[in-house]
Structure formats: structure tokens, C-alpha cells
Chain A
Amino acid sequence: MTEGYLYTLLALLGFSALGVLHKLADTFKCRPASVNALLYGWSLVFVGITLTLRSGTLVAPGDVPWLAIPFGISASIAILAFQAGVRHGDIATSWLAINLSSGIPTVASILIYHEPVGWKRAIALCLIPVSMSLLWKDKRDAEAKRG
């Protein structure tokens, strides 16, 4: 279990560093399309290496690639939009906005697979638009003050 906590801590550091690097890329005036292409290029290399080391194979039922590719494209659109958007906002609020998207697969699972909602999920899902509205309101206020 202690090992599990250590891995969780490392995962936390990995995800946090990713957020900071998005902002750093913007600070260094890196172009969103280039950053997106390189992020995906390198990630593909890392996954390929891991698959090779585990003696894995790319052979899978025909459904797998055709299922994976459109969802991968969707995620790539997200990173491109996010990196372009960071230029117009703070990383603290932008990072929250993209992380709040975990509500979407939950809603999709409820609608498509009829998963039970439960009161915790219902409250959590209701909080998402409220949080997004508050972030938007905060940004408008801040920029109105700056003139």
C-alpha cells in the first residue's frame, strides 16, 4: 500500500509538471500546433518503447484502432485549443477548466450505458457549470479592472 502512495505522489508530480510546462511553453512563445504535435509525437514514442519492453504486440482486433483513433483526435483537438487558450488566460484557471471535463465521460456513461447517477455524482456534475461560470466571471472582472 505504501508503494501505492509513492506511485500516486509521482503521478501527482507528473500531472502537475505537465500543467506548469503548458504555461512555460506559452511563456517561451512556443506555437500551440508545434507543442501539440511534439507532445503527441513523444508520447507515442514512450508508449511504443513500453509496448516493446513488455514484449507487447500491436496486433489487436480491427475494432481497437478504429475506436482509438477518433478519440485520440478529440484529445489532440483539446490540447491544441488549451495551449492556444493559455495565451489568453491564467494557468491556474485554465488547468481547472480542462480538468473539469472529467464530468463529460461521466455524463456520457449515464446517458449511453445507463449507469446509476447517485447523489454525489449529481452534485459534482451540477458544480461543474457553476465553477466554469465563476472562472469566466473572475476573468471578466479582472480584465475590466485592467481596462
Chain B
Amino acid sequence: MAEARAVSPTVATQGTETRNTDIWMRLMLVAFVANGIGPFGLKVLAMRGLADYQSQYLFYWYLGGLVFAVAALLIGRGGVNGREILLGAAMGGCSFAGQSFTAMALAKGLPGHIAFPLTTGGSLFLVALAGIALFKERIGPYGLCGVILGVASLVMLSIA
């Protein structure tokens, strides 16, 4: 198995890690589709005339996610350690802060066509910058074009 991986053109090692482009692509496609479906519930909520119950919706939305996450954790017979608890808290806090501050910006009258491109496009830019500066990642010419087109697409979707 190790030999098969070593000769595969889609597998490469970076440090002690084994990276596989096909696995990456498959997982990213799952994340892409599932993450796209996730927020669509808010649209359904609004179309059913239940927009006043957004906070309650958000609570049950996270509850559903937690139930699945705990089930996945139990099936995998995994546990949690101190580092994961701290990082999980920081990630939960950042996610919640991002959503809440966007909502507050909109509530203060900032138009959505300014707020959404700034948060989405800006976050893509900052994370790419962090990847290059902090994690020593390298993006090739195709990747760079992909990032530029992706940011352009998201900005256009936000203002359309």
C-alpha cells in the first residue's frame, strides 16, 4: 500500500504527511455541496413566512449539526483532548462572531452589496495570505487564476 502511494502521481508527501489530490477533491466536493445546502434553510424559512423565528432556527440548526457531529465522533470511537476543546471554542467563537457582526453591520444600515463582498472576498484574501505567510504554502499559476476567478465570482454573487 505504501509503495502504491509512493508511485501514484496524485500522491505526494509534505513533511511527514501524505497528501492525496483525489481525496482532497472528493472531500472538497462533499464540503462544497453540503455547505451550499446548509444555509438554504434560511431561504425556505423566509419563504414560509417564518423569518421572525431566525434565532430559534439558528439554535436548532446548530443542534442538528451537533447531533450529527457527536454521532460521527462516537462511530469513529474518537475522544477529545484539551487542545481540541480550546481550538473548538475559538472556532465556534469566530464563526458566531462573524455571523453576528455581519448581522449587526446590516442592522446599522450598511448595504448587503458592500458587507457581503467585503467579508467573503476579504476573508478569502486574508486566509490565502495566512496560508502563504504562516504555513509556507505555495500557489501555482493555475491556482492563482482559480483564486482570482473564485473571488470575482463570490463578489459578483454578493452584489447580483
Contact = CB atoms under 8 A, between A and B. Distances in A.
A136 B25 contact: yes
Q: Which of B76, B90, B153 has the most CB of A within 10 A?
A: B153
Contact of B32 (A50, A64, A73, A101): A101
Interface string A77-91: 111111011011111
Contact of A31 (B43, B48, B55, B78): B78
B87 A88 contact: no
B58 to A, nearest CB: 6
Contact of B140 (A10, A33, A142): A142
Dominant secondary structure of chain A at its interface with chain B:
helix
A30 B134 contact: no
B69 to A, nearest CB: 4
B49 to A, nearest CB: 10
Interface in B81-97: 81, 83-85, 87-97
Interface string B23-46: 111011011111111111101110
Contacts of A75: 34-35, 37-39, 61, 65
Most A-side CB within 10 Å, residue of B32, B45, B115: B32
Contacts of B21: 88-89, 136, 139-140, 143
Contacts of A89: 19, 21, 24, 28
Interface in A62-109: 63-65, 67-82, 84-85, 87-106, 108-109
A7 B110 contact: yes
B69 A33 contact: yes
A101 B50 contact: no
A144 B56 CA distance: 49
Interface residues of B, number: 119
Contacts of B156: 120-121, 123-124, 127
B73 to A, nearest CB: 5
A15 B123 contact: yes
B33 A101 contact: yes
Given A15-B94, A128-B150, A135 B60 contact: no
A42 B91 contact: yes
Interface string B99-135: 1111011101110001100111011101110111011
Contacts of A36: 69, 72-73
A61 B53 CA distance: 8
A1 B110 contact: yes
Given A28-B87, A44-B62, A85-B28, A103 B55 contact: no
Given A31-B84, A47-B58, A100-B32, 5 more contacts: A7-B102, A28-B83, A68-B60, A88-B21, A92-B139
9 contacts: A37-B73, A44-B66, A60-B57, A64-B53, A68-B64, A72-B64, A135-B146, A143-B9, A143-B12
